[in-house]
Amino acid sequence: MNRRQLVITASAAMALPAYAKAESPSLKSPGPQIIAHRGASGYLPEHTLAAYEAAVRMGADHIEPDVVATKDGHLVVRHDPVLTDSTDILSHPEFADRKRTVSFGTFEITDFFVSDFTLAEIKTLRARQVFADRSHADDDRYEIPTLQEVLGLRERLSRESGRTVGIVPEIKFPTLHRQVGLAIEEKLVDMLDRAGLNSATAPVWIQSFEQANLKALKKMTPIKLLQLVSGSDVDPTGAVTLLPPDDKPYDWVVSGRAGTYADMLTQEGLDEVATYAAVVSPWKRWLVSFSNGQPVVRKDIVDNAHARGLQVFTWTLRNDRLDPFYAGDPAAEYTQLFHMGVDGVFSDFPDTAVAARDKFAQ
């Protein structure tokens, strides 16, 4: 065992969580849950049916569609409410006049907004890999799917694989959508209801970086809710820094509520989250950051959440975005988080995540 492995193990030395060898009764997969972040997005253009199917074939427990709305009210899946980075929109001169600037508190976005396009127009676009250093061999091959198509795929893959495939939809920019008359929450719940997934025991979590829409959803549906907690960067001491737009939920900006995402992870903040959510999901640097090449571990966040009955998921694990501490071994990052008691991880490389979990559970 090398020095890095010793530190990883020592930084979270404890008995393995009970679920390390347990079998989930609903998903039949041991240990922490593996959520395919935007599908198998490390290999294929994100948020495509191909990426979701590949993720399930790799053993992911859940697929994660980010949900946005079109001009005519259809729910489609994109990571952002804009199109330049993830599609071939710039190859469509017929849409050149759609680019515009939208203000979000103290920052602005100039781009092509999904909410300015009909579903028929969105269907003329093709998906592209968003990371320049990943394979672009599959760019411009796949349509932008609707959420309904993703739900249909989930049902088919569950049937074909003989296991229940979960789904973890994220409502993107809920306040923005509501401001332009395209609220997502009610439509999403209706679609999940028609898919037979509107229950507390369904393999579903609805997630959001905002808080007000999750509190509203708590009154609307028994489906489990997941509070995302963002961050901007890490300072030399290993502390998470917070700058717009990742400093606070946008609904807090609009309502004038004081505070930042850091407040959600305090004792009082977790008390509030526990009143409406089943899961708190901080950016992984809230749990493990680095200072002078060594890990700064915040297992107390995991323990405090668990003490309130909250599960802890974290994001995003990527083979090609590892801190040098892990010496090029993606499994080491998973193992460190699993030893801390994390209940689920969002990964761009679900095959790596599943393999790391399987090894951890041995």
Structure tokens at 46: 């994100």
Q: How many domains does the chain have?
A: 1
Which entry of 37, 47, 177, 339 is annotated as an active-site residue?
37
Q: Which of 62, 79, 177, 339 is catalytic?
A: 79
**DSSP β-bridge partners for residue 312:** 280
* 95 located within any domain: no
Write down the pLDDT at residue 339: 97
Query: How many other C-beta atoms are found inside a 10 Å radius of the C-beta of residue 20?
Result: 17
Q: Which of 200, 207, 197, 206 is nearest to 155 (CA)?
A: 197
Tokens representing residue 345 in the block = 């991880």
Instruction: Tell me if 107 is assigned to some domain.
Output: no
Q: Is-contact 66 38, C-beta < 8 A? A: yes
Q: Is the pLDDT of residue 154 over 90?
A: yes
Task: Give the strand pairing for 311-317 and 62-64.
Answer: unpaired
| Helices of type H across 173-288 | 174-179, 185-194, 212-220, 250-255, 261-264, 267-273, 284-287
Average pLDDT, the chain: 93
Please write the tens of the pLDDT for every residue from 79-129: 999 999 999 999 999 999 999 999 887 889 999 999 999 999 999 999 999
Report yes or no on 233 lying in a domain.
Answer: yes
pLDDT digits over 209-268, tens only? 999 999 999 999 999 999 999 999 999 999 999 999 999 999 999 999 999 999 999 999
Give pLDDT, residue 2. Answer: 41
Model confidence at 12, pLDDT cuts 50, 70, 90, reads: very low
Q: State the pLDDT at residue 11.
A: 40
The DSSP call for residue 21 is S
Cα 256 from Cα 175, distance rounded (Å): 13
Question: What pLDDT band is residue 15 in, cutting at 50, 70 and 90?
Answer: very low
358 falls in which pLDDT band (50, 70, 90)?
very high
Q: pLDDT tens digits for 28-77?
A: 346 899 999 999 999 999 999 999 999 999 999 999 999 999 999 999 99
128 within a domain of the structure (yes/no): no
What are 158-198's pLDDT values in tens digits? 999 999 999 999 999 999 999 999 999 999 999 999 999 99
pLDDT value for 30: 60
pLDDT tens-place string over residues 286-308: 999 999 999 999 999 999 999 99
Judge whether 132 lies within some domain.
no
Residue with tokens 């040098």: 324
pLDDT surpasses 90 at 1: no
Provide the CATH number for the domain around residue 292. Answer: 3.20.20.190
Quote the CA–CA distance of 248 and 253 in Å, as a whole number.
7
| SS3 label, residue 175 | helix
Name the band, by pLDDT with cuts 50, 70 and 90, for residue 134. Answer: very high
Q: Is the pLDDT of residue 280 over 70?
A: yes
Judged against a pLDDT cut of 70, whether residue 19 lies above it is answered with: no
Q: From start to end of the chain, where are the E strands?
A: 33-37, 62-64, 66-69, 75-77, 100-104, 107-111, 166-167, 170-171, 205-208, 224-229, 233-234, 240-241, 279-282, 288-291, 294-297, 311-317, 344-347
* Distance of alpha carbon 176 from alpha carbon 68, whole angstroms: 10
Residue 25 domain boundaries: 3-81+144-361
- With 0-12 / 13-18 / 19 or more C-beta atoms within 10 angstroms meaning exposed / middle / buried, residue 95 is middle
Could you confirm whether 92 is annotated as catalytic?
no
8-state DSSP, 292: T
Q: What percent of the chain has pLDDT over 90?
A: 90
Residue 124 lies in a domain: no
Q: Which helix (H) or strand (E) holds 172?
A: none
User: Does 134 fall in a domain?
Assistant: no
DSSP string, 96-132: GGG-EEEEETTEEEEE-BGGGS-HHHHTT--B--S-T
Residue 110: asked if its preceding bond is cis (omega within 30°), the reply is no
In sequence order, the 6+-apart residues with CB closer than 8 A to the CB of 194 are none
Between helix 350-361 and helix 330-339 the angle, nearest 10°, is 50
- Name the residue with tokens 């001169």: 93
Q: What is the gyration radius of the CA atoms in the chain, in angstroms?
A: 20
Kindly state the percentage of the chain with pLDDT values over 70: 92
Considering the domain boundaries, does residue 116 fall inside one?
no
pLDDT at 24 over 70: no
